[in-house]
């Protein structure tokens, strides 16, 4: 089953939020919340249930989009 666009948009917003610089966090948090709200409306699920439902798909989406792996944090 293909991934709905609203889920792909949510993944994109999450990717940007997770891997942006600290100075851009507020901007990308706003974008993520907007994408989450849109996904909630289209899916009919609560935000927490929706985030849990798509969490495993996030890294699969990254692979399919051929996005670079996230940078490793120091100390790991």
Work out how many domains the chain is built from and give that number: 1
11 in any annotated domain: yes
72 in any annotated domain: no
| pLDDT above 80 (res 26) | yes
Entry pTM: 0.87
What is the full DSSP assignment across the chain?
A: -PPPHHHHHHHHHHHHHHHS-GGGHHHHHHHHHHHHHHHHHHH---HHHHHHHHHHHHHHHHHHTTPPPPPPPTT-
Calculate the CA 4 to chain-centre distance. 13
Range of the domain at 11: 5-65
Q: At 71, is the pLDDT very low, low, confident or very high (cuts 50, 70, 90)?
A: low
Dist CA 14 CA 18 (whole Å): 6
């Amino acid at each position: 089953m293909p991934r709905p666009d609203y889920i792909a948009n949510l993944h994109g917003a999450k990717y940007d939020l997770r891997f942006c610089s600290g100075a851009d966090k507020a901007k990308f948090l706003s974008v993520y919340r907007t994408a989450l709200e849109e996904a909630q409306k289209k899916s009919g699920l609560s935000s927490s249930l929706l985030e849990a439902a798509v969490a495993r798909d996030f890294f699969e989406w990254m692979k399919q989009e051929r996005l670079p792996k996230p940078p490793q944090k120091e100390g790991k």
